[in-house]
Structure 1
Amino acid sequence: MSPHHEHAGHGHHAGHGAQVGLGDHGDHADHGSDGGHHDHADHESDAGHGGHHGHEGHGGHEGHVAVFRRLFWIMLVLAVPTVLLSPMFADLLGYGLPDVPGITWVAPVLGTVMFALGGQPFLTGAVDEIRSRKPGMMLLIGMAITVAFASSLAASLGLISHELEFWWELALLIVIMLLGHWIEMRSLAQTSSALDSLAALLPDEAERVEGDSIVTVAPTDLRVGDVVIVRPGARVPADGTVVQGAAAVDESMITGESKAVRRSEGDQVVAGTVATDSGLRVEISAVGDDTALAGIQRLVEQAQGSSSRAQRLADKAAGWLFWYALGAAIIAAIVWLVVADPATTLERVITVLIIACPHALGLAIPLVVSITTERAARGGVLIKDRLALERTRSVDTVLFDKTGTLTRGEPAVGHVVGAAGLNESQVLALAAAAELDSEHPLARAIVRAATERELEIPAATGFSASPAVGVTATIDGSTVRVGGPYLLEEEGLDPLEAGGSWAEDGATVLHVVRDGAVIGALSVSDEIRPESREAVDALHSLGIQVVMITGDAEPVARAVAADLGIDEVFAGVRPEHKADKVAELQERGRTVAMVGDGVNDAPALARADVGIAIGAGTDVAIASAGVILASDDPRSVLSIIQLSRAAYRKMQQNLWWAAGYNLVAVPLAAGVLAPVGFVMPMAVGAILMSLSTVIVALNAQLLRRLDLSPEASIAALR
């Protein structure tokens, strides 16, 4: 790497939390490394293992997926004999039970076991909902299975009519509800914790200076006042002040600034940042909870906590149905007691309460979520938070992080100008020859540009790098140097006029000098993704406002925004203020989707109504977001919005089917048509219940047809 480039101000991609250092030291400039720009390219493959988002009704930790899966399979095995050997089910289908002593007790015994084991999560959830005075799905299910159990047990013991024996219905109820909850839990399984990922930014060990010796200690053992050595390419273990040395420090994971910043004696450095080109001695000024990184951790924690309280649609519907069923049962009890005997009244009330159980409602949302999640994953979209997906349909503002999201996050040669009779190609070929042995990202950008233009790069010898000045090499007997402003100063030369306007647009300007004369200049800047313009235009066509946020300086931000037609820009924003900018937009009444990939984006991703992590981002960004894009194509944001809208339509249709069945079946079960001679038998109610479940399941399957490719999303808008 060429240290002059660091002076010229270039740093790494803002999003990558695991860069290794760059180690050009004088003549040994060729042994650096670019710092792992793709360290995180494979995160999407790891996502979805870890935790559990937690069902609001009954607590949340990663064990729930396994609990519901295990319970479902055990209950399914028990349900088969319970249903087939239930006398009522045998009557319904018209077959007789085998003439075996005690056969009629198989269903009651297994049904009781199913109620106690399989019903336990629902009964616990029902108690929680009663305590919190928020009736919902769990109370509705709990009520139905309790009534079915009590009625069936009383019928089996001969205390009430044998027609009120519903062991088969109880078994099916428990199995279907466990299946719904297992599907739901699985679709909510979370990826690794954002907070663990933030902690991973700290180095595993620190080198503390003790007298004349250097001792390796854990960062947690450091105390304020300790002096540590940070070697080239190593991470700063805790916040502190530089007491010796100078280095270009990559602070992108903390500040979002895409250029490395020169830090020398007296300057502050932050835990987790990387000294790219040379070593530093740092006196520790803050450790543990007092560091900037810990502050970001707290912001992520708070924002994650605050965004998980949204009430689910199905729970609301279930809450309304609970009161509806209870009201219908009470009215039915009063009316039937007046017009009939207590046995008939009991039969009607039990029929109402069991029919009210939301078979289809229990599957309506989980099935849509599960198919949506699976469909999305095949389309390169990983959904971690169902609530985020639900909210995406109403997003009216998309806030893009600049570096690595709208731009590639890696430097590219923009302009080349020749002087002293040389054309652009000749200048670029000479610059590439001088930079060939350097590992710095800017050097590689120059070599890549020359290669892409198929230029012949001449052979160079005697490569050397001078800290903060530039590289020098001998080409065809001439001394060629490439560097920033210090190189011109050292040579006593004036910059080319064109460089001034490039610098105003935020580009890094490098001059090429041959035998003491300026022969050309190049501008190198973060390249805008070709898809970004299409994404911005498509979002505008949906009536969505596009805002850009960046740690970069105003000129850089304005140049990118003007190029892409972005509505609003927040430039020079530090990470702790990114979440504030999201809040500012929300205070204006906007529903905000934040799209980013860096650690510095994590609090903002968590704070936004919808956090969308671009796939090449860091662990932290991925863990803080509700939605993760496997690709780094910004057009994929459209796919998510369209998927969210389609999923919401399906959820609404399913809720209407599921709840609609209840709205019609409950009054019929209560006997509203008894005056005209129709009282719905329990068996018919059960068949209708199953039918509504089948309709809901088939309707959800239609989501599989959705094409989530960015191209299809753009085409759908045309």
Structure 2
Amino acid sequence: MDIDKMTSGHGTMDHTKMQHGSGHSMDMSGPGHHAMMIADFKKRFYVVLALTVPVMLLSMQIQQWLHLAISFAGSPYLLFALASVVFVYGGWPFLTGWLSEMKAKNPGMMTLIGFAVTVAYLYSSATVFGLKGMDFFWELDTLILIMLLGHWIEMKSVAGASKELELLVQLMPDEAHMVMPDMVHDVKTDTLKANDIILVKPGEKVAADGIILEGESYLNESMLTGESKPVQKVKGDKVIAGSINGNGSFKVTVSHAAKDSYLSQVVKLVDDAQKSKSKTQLLADTAAKWLTVIALLTGMTAFLYWYLTGQTLAFAMERMVTVIVICCPHALGLAVPLVVAKSTALSAKHGLLIKNRTAFENSRKITTMVFDKTGTLTIGKFEVSKIVSLQKALKENEIIRLASALEQQSEHPIATGILQKVKDLKIPVPKAENFKAISGQGIEATVEGKKVLVVSPGYLKENKIRTPDGFTANVTETVVFLIIDKELAGYIALSDEIRPESAEAITTLKQENIKSVLLTGDNSKVAASVSNTLGMDSFIAEVLPHQKLEKIKELQSKGGFVAMTGDGVNDAPALAQADIGIAVGSGSDIAAETAGIVLVNSNPKDIVSLILFGKATYRKMVQNLAWATCYNVIALPLAAGVLYNQGIVLSPAAGAVLMTVSTVVVAINASMLKVKT
């Protein structure tokens, strides 16, 4: 898995192309490759550092400052030779980067550095071979030294920003214990395929997504879903590759190959999000490109001004080089990508999967938060609380038996509740044929020659079927009706508890001045009860899936910036219509949703975390952009020499130090981003 093709900030060598704001590209085709590049900069830095002492001691300017007199036959040529090694070996990453940018017709930071060191080197070399003036080989040396150090530090910062994603990748174990007929055999994880059986021993990581065939244990899924408590898993339960096993051991029937695993999808999703560009990123890109042009024009203007007003060629060259170096749009180019790298990887670690960068950054604008009820604000685990027969010939057990025939085809929480009741009563589930879903209202099928429907109260209302005399349902109950051969036969009431975290989530939204609206297909009494208990602003009940889209439009027409949470299947049109669609509880089927953001758990507190994290991420981007812009506004005139008459003038090396410091400030600020849970 290529996890390092992430938006990065440094334009060093032309290897695999990573774009960032200042227009330079860089390839990082894996963590190992990235580590090699860091090591390469480190080695070049130390070689140049070793050559810095003799270069400085042989330089005329340094000798004047230190009152030294080191001169011998050929000393200028030795200085030229040492400086040439520094220029070629130390400057190589910048020179090749410059060439790549020129080929791509996309000048950026490498163009500026390459141009600056080349001008300094050519001018200084000319002074050795007869041009009148003083060389600045020592300034060239220290400039390259500081640029190498800056890139080395910055690359380590970028590696730090993406380490959460690397940790996710490392979750996948290399080997699995494959169960053969005669023995257990260790195989490479990437060779596993659907229906293979693997053994997971105590303390090991689960090697593949699958279903427990035998045994049970508690699994730690915190690095995958953000759920901190270990989750009990028994026979028939799904397990996710990368989760950590507790003290039990169990066998798993593998669901699919490693490349299709939940973890692989998460890594791909994060990778895609980091490579995608939002409006903030495009703004930074534009600013960085303009800064490149401004740096070159200002540098050349400074050169002409100082040279034409009587200063030496060396001084005029020095001003130009300093302006160009100090205005490298490094900090500006890194301002957004570093925060992107950090935020997408960090959110994935907390079960918040960002598919659309713009949607995530826009979460700060949310004014109305629309919640689906079942499985989001409520636990989503329905338990049968009442079975009522409306025909004397039918017993309660027959009502639940026929209903279970239809519900075995469904994964809805109501179906799970009915099937659990049948299992508890030890009733065999009959076979259903000609199965058909009635959109948003129930299901129908043929069972033992009878046409059976399991439907919502909304179906009865729409088809003008009168509810039975004496029908009552508890305000918190959800009811489904059984119709056999067009005759109302009975009903089943199920209860669903409100999540303990829901009230806290709604309170936090209120504090953030965000309205909370409940949108549900359930009856008005249940909706009102849930809404009032949680202190929500309003509720909309008995809504069919296609009507949810209209309700979202209504809220938008009132000027609201609307986010909606739903399960991403029935709610797909509404999620697409909302300004921000958030799919919840979609498990390992994360790629098929229309939503811009996917929450692995259905916990409403995660939705609040997402909004607060979106705001924090945007703040970091703005802080970084503000810092990078202000730094350039102040540094550029100083580099050009506007305060020269007041005795304040920056050398190219000092310019390089300031540029490096500005880049490191941006990197440190990005690394301080955290998810509040």
| Conserved? CA contact 2:587–2:601, under 8 Å | no
Identify the match of residue 400 of structure 1 among 366, 371, 378.
371
Change (3 A) 1:359 1:143: same
Change (3 A) 1:359 1:545: same
| Conserved? CA contact 1:599–1:618, under 8 Å | no
Aligned 1:20-419 pairs, distance under 5 A: 65-66=28-29, 70=33, 73-74=36-37, 76-77=39-40, 80-81=43-44, 84-85=47-48, 89-90=52-53, 103-111=82-90, 113-119=92-98, 123=102, 127-128=105-106, 139=108, 142-156=111-125, 161-163=135-137, 165=140, 166-169=143-146, 171-172=148-149, 310-312=279-281, 313-315=283-285, 317-319=287-289, 321-322=291-292, 325=295, 328-329=298-299, 332-336=302-306, 337-402=308-373, 404-406=375-377, 411-413=382-384
Q: Output one character per residue of 1:212-242: Cα deviation in whole Å (capped at 9) or x when no partner.
A: xxxxxxxxxxxxxxxxxxxxxxxxxxxxxxx
User: Which residue does 1:507 correspond to in 2?
Assistant: 479
User: Which residue does 2:243 correspond to in 1?
Assistant: none
Change (3 A) 1:618 1:567: farther
User: Which residue does 2:565 correspond to in 1?
Assistant: 595
- For 2:22 and 2:640, the matched residues in 1 are separated by 31
1:508 deviation in Å? 0.8
1:355 deviation in Å? 0.7
- For 1:462 and 1:391, the matched residues in 2 are separated by 48
| Conserved? CA contact 2:101–2:111, under 8 Å | yes
- For 1:650 and 1:555, the matched residues in 2 are separated by 43
User: Which residue does 1:673 correspond to in 2?
Assistant: 643
Structure 2 stretches lacking a partner, 5+ long = 9-17, 60-74, 169-272, 435-443, 457-465
| Conserved? CA contact 2:355–2:597, under 8 Å | yes
Change (3 A) 1:388 1:69: farther
User: Which residue does 1:662 correspond to in 2?
Assistant: 632
1:351 deviation in Å? 0.7
Q: Output one character per residue of 1:15-63: Cα deviation in whole Å (capped at 9) or x when no partner.
A: xxxxxxxxxxxxxxxxxxxxxxxxxxxxxxx9989999985869999x9
Q: Output one character per residue of 1:632-686: Cα deviation in whole Å (capped at 9) or x when no partner.
A: 1122111011112222333333333333332222221111211112211222222
TM-score in terms of structure 2 length: 0.57
- For 1:57 and 1:331, the matched residues in 2 are separated by 25
Change (3 A) 1:464 1:622: closer
| Conserved? CA contact 1:83–1:107, under 8 Å | no
1:74 deviation in Å? 3.8
| Conserved? CA contact 2:479–2:493, under 8 Å | yes
Secondary structure in structure 1 of the residue aligned to 2:29 = helix
Change (3 A) 1:496 1:58: same
Secondary structure in structure 1 of the residue aligned to 2:648 = coil
Worse-matched range after superposition: 631-640 or 688-697: 688-697
User: Which residue does 2:263 correspond to in 1?
Assistant: none
- For 1:602 and 1:78, the matched residues in 2 are separated by 49
AA of the residue aligned to 2:136: H
Change (3 A) 1:88 1:417: same
Q: Output one character per residue of 1:188-218: Cα deviation in whole Å (capped at 9) or x when no partner.
A: 99x9xxxxxxxxxxxxxxxxxxxxxxxxxxx
User: Which residue does 2:661 correspond to in 1?
Assistant: 691
Change (3 A) 1:463 1:184: closer
1:607 deviation in Å? 6.0
AA of the residue aligned to 1:509: F
AA of the residue aligned to 2:89: L
User: Which residue does 1:201 correspond to in 2?
Assistant: none
Change (3 A) 1:581 1:693: same
- For 2:333 and 2:52, the matched residues in 1 are separated by 23
- For 1:499 and 1:541, the matched residues in 2 are separated by 41
| Conserved? CA contact 2:3–2:31, under 8 Å | no
| Conserved? CA contact 1:400–1:594, under 8 Å | yes
| Conserved? CA contact 1:145–1:174, under 8 Å | no
AA of the residue aligned to 1:677: G
Secondary structure in structure 1 of the residue aligned to 2:673 = helix
AA of the residue aligned to 2:417: A
Identify the match of residue 469 of structure 2 among 483, 497, 511.
497
| Conserved? CA contact 1:434–1:463, under 8 Å | yes
Worse-matched range after superposition: 113-122 or 679-688: 113-122
- For 1:683 and 1:171, the matched residues in 2 are separated by 12
Change (3 A) 1:435 1:147: same
AA of the residue aligned to 1:399: V
AA of the residue aligned to 1:689: M
The alignment covers a number of residue pairs equal to 506
1:597 deviation in Å? 2.9
- For 2:566 and 2:373, the matched residues in 1 are separated by 8
TM-score in terms of structure 1 length: 0.54
Percent of paired sites with the same residue: 32
Change (3 A) 1:579 1:379: same
Q: Output one character per residue of 1:119-162: Cα deviation in whole Å (capped at 9) or x when no partner.
A: 5665566x34xxxxxxxxx6355434433344345545657833
1:632 aligns with 2:606: no
| Conserved? CA contact 1:68–1:181, under 8 Å | no
1:396 deviation in Å? 1.9
1:541 aligns with 2:518: no
- For 1:443 and 1:670, the matched residues in 2 are separated by 73
Task: Indicate the RMSD between aligned Cα atoms, in angstroms.
Answer: 5.8
| Conserved? CA contact 1:412–1:445, under 8 Å | yes
Secondary structure in structure 2 of the residue aligned to 1:85 = helix
- For 1:395 and 1:618, the matched residues in 2 are separated by 27
- For 2:358 and 2:581, the matched residues in 1 are separated by 11
Aligned 1:516-595 pairs, distance under 5 A: 522-524=492-494, 529=499, 531-547=501-517, 552=521, 562=531, 565=536, 567=538, 569=540, 572=543, 589-595=559-565
Secondary structure in structure 2 of the residue aligned to 1:696 = helix
User: Which residue does 1:653 correspond to in 2?
Assistant: 623
AA of the residue aligned to 1:167: I
